[in-house]
Structure 1
């Protein structure tokens, strides 16, 4: 039998709580709408999307697809934002492919594009993992996230009062050798291009510490560390940066598997940093995913799958609910995002 065919069924008899709707209304602060991550809603009637969000009790949906390019940003502003401006927040991005042509003027040029995107209606900046892993300058040198030439980008986002959502690096195991000890072996076997061995790539801690440097150097800018600060495996590290930097926030998107397998530490973390945590799924407007997140945050259910897929995609383990108090859930579901996004 191959590992992919191993589907053990637990014999535990435990409470299973259905949570079809959240206890309070929600702002989804990290998601997508187009392929490959959002489900292709840009090719479906927009009223269907609003009905789906209403069913999930999601009042505002943050679409990060504009980070892929200005053409996508303009399309989504027209298709989603214009018909229902109160329901969507769209983020812009940086076209790193222009660096070889722009050379030392790239930072100022990119900043000027952010100002233009703001005129169109963008309300935030999305930075994705190519920065630190793939982006190269005019001399074909890898660009670090804390490169001083990027300063105009961070300063301009701050002047626009834009939150800067950052996903750099990836799960820690993606930087480890693919051996029988790698806890994400199955995922990396299915997606070998997700592995970033060092060399030739920088080490995980090199990239994540570059991110922390940027947050510290730019206190006037609000940064959101995607996926639990880009380091869900180490809540102590994330907590230390939250302690140091009041301009640092995190979202919980795509990390139920990490948070739910350390429920005691995660619950303490959520209680301590309740004012700095944003809700998000990074799974498109999927009811199944929303309901898993609601179950995780609201119930004390034990040992359940963190994904609608069986086996779960990130690792073959199950999770435990955090059973958070109402005041904390209200902040995470919406209040923190309303404050940060000025909604």
Structure 2
């Protein structure tokens, strides 16, 4: 046997048999070429993502609740709005109190908080339109006057606006994601102004001193800060709304925005 023992010979046979078996098994489970083609492209042609409208196959009991069991408060509403960077002279309302109040009564909605009440004269108009006629049904928040950031003395001006807003009847301070993602040194140009910019320190102090809660929107879903590609779980909506993406350019990351908020 040329130095081969019986044990060596049996071992070589076992290895050969195992190898043949593995090859046979692999050949048996390997799909045929035409089967692969059917799996890859079922039906005729390709379906564009924007044309994909799947119908839910979820079969569960549906419970409709037309009215809250207990009086509720809707803390996050936008009954009115003003320009993002402060260029507006009058309030824009999305509805009238006469339209909203009957709906609130039907749903047992005791109160609504209008976060985007504006600033300056716009804030006064909004309070007079919603809150003053119905003080037990509507609450209005004020917003920073961002366009004034280019003017000297802005930090104190903004702090004074908080005091004025409270005197008018505003109950809190609302910041959209303008700060951190849109507002720039020259309002619309230059580098982005960070959330923890010290020019806003007097504003935060004024809000605390006047016991006005702060509602701040600092960021968006984490996927909005990643490339809009096939790996992005929010690709469908980012593809439909490319302006929602904060990836690249000079935008901070989602984590950087949160860390800046925590330093305020």
TM-score by length of 2: 0.72
Deviation at 1:140, TM superposition (A): 3.9
Deviation at 1:7, TM superposition (A): 2.3
Structure 2 distance, partners of 1:54, 1:22, is 10
User: RMSD between aligned alpha carbons?
Assistant: 2.2
2:196 is the counterpart of 1:146: yes
Unpaired segments ≥5 residues, structure 1: 215-343
Alpha-carbon contact 1:41-1:49 (below 8 Å) kept = no
Say if 1:201 and 1:44 are closer, same or farther in 2 by CA, change over 3 A: closer
- 1:257 corresponds in structure 2 to none
Equivalent pairs, count: 208
2:157 is the counterpart of 1:109: yes
Structure 1 distance, partners of 2:72, 2:176, is 24
- Matched residue of 2:111: which SS? strand
- 2:9 corresponds in structure 1 to none
- Matched residue of 1:7: which SS? coil
How is 1:1-343 mapped onto 2 (pairs within 5 angstroms)?
A: 1-34=47-80, 42=93, 44-67=95-118, 69-102=119-152, 105-137=153-185, 140-214=190-264
Deviation at 1:205, TM superposition (A): 0.6
Deviation at 1:199, TM superposition (A): 3.5
Alpha-carbon contact 2:114-2:138 (below 8 Å) kept = yes
- Matched residue of 2:54: which SS? coil
Greater Cα radius of gyration, structure 1 or 2 = 2
Say if 1:42 and 1:19 are closer, same or farther in 2 by CA, change over 3 A: same
TM-score by length of 1: 0.56
Alpha-carbon contact 1:27-1:60 (below 8 Å) kept = yes
